Amino acid sequence: MTETKEKKTSEIKKEADEISCPVKRAVYFVDEFLKGPMCGKCFPCEMGSYEALVRLRGIEGGSGAEDDLGALRRIAGEMLKTSRCKKGKDTANFIIEWIDTDVFAGHIQGVCADKECMALVEYVVIPDKCTNCALCHEACKDNAITGEKAATFLSEYVPFEISQERCTKCGECIKVCPEEAIELIDVMDAEGVEV
């Protein structure tokens, strides 16, 4: 049986740094830390990491609150003071570094500026740009897009539309639209889009 090599925190940090959104980055880092380098020898590092991950996932998932930011600062501060090794201290420092961006506060307000936290965004068709080519409809495996394909015998069309109930946010439609008529918008702004 081949042994899987455990990742170092520096490797996890390098991978996490490729993620644009600091909230998603922090979720990735702490999750990977818990799966690998976190050895469980000291309580504040172990429990702090678990609690941090729960709170970070809440923020990523759109249910974060101001309390979570305070709790994350407290957790990271305790980890920094009491962790026995560099791995725990590094994790605490990364959490502190990422929380101190405005991005966390933005997520609490319902906005992921990088449009990477899927709970906070929706795929929508911009009606004025849609030419009814139906390519998005063909690309969508979840049957989330409805509309009538352009045809010579039709003179008026209703633009294609995405059902938010069915959309799994896979992103395939946006890749095939030749008119850039599909956009990712903040859920909180979705009511302002005319369909």
Query: Which residues would be at the binding site for ligand SF4 (CB under 6 A)?
Result: 37-42, 45-46, 83-85, 87-88, 123, 125, 130-136, 139-140, 142, 144-145, 147, 160, 162, 167-173, 176-177, 179, 181-182
Q: Can you spell out the DSSP letters for 80-135?
A: HHH-SSHHHHHHHHHHHHHHTSHHHHHHHTT--TTS--GGGEEEEE-GGG-----H
Q: Which CB sits closer to ligand SF4, 73 or 78?
A: 78
Give me the phi and psi of 32, to 5 degrees please: -65, -35
Q: Which CB sits closer to ligand SF4, 65 or 85?
A: 85
Q: Which CB sits closer to ligand SF4, 39 or 65?
A: 39
- Name the minimum Å distance from CB 33 to ligand SF4: 8
What Å distances lie between residue 191 and 101, 124, 143, 194, CA to CA?
A: 28, 11, 22, 8
- Name the minimum Å distance from CB 56 to ligand SF4: 17
DSSP tag of 66: H
Q: Which CB sits closer to ligand SF4, 26 or 45?
A: 45
- Name the minimum Å distance from CB 94 to ligand SF4: 13
- Name the minimum Å distance from CB 66 to ligand SF4: 28
Structural contact between residues 17 and 46, judged by C-beta atoms closer than 8 angstroms: no
DSSP tag of 168: -
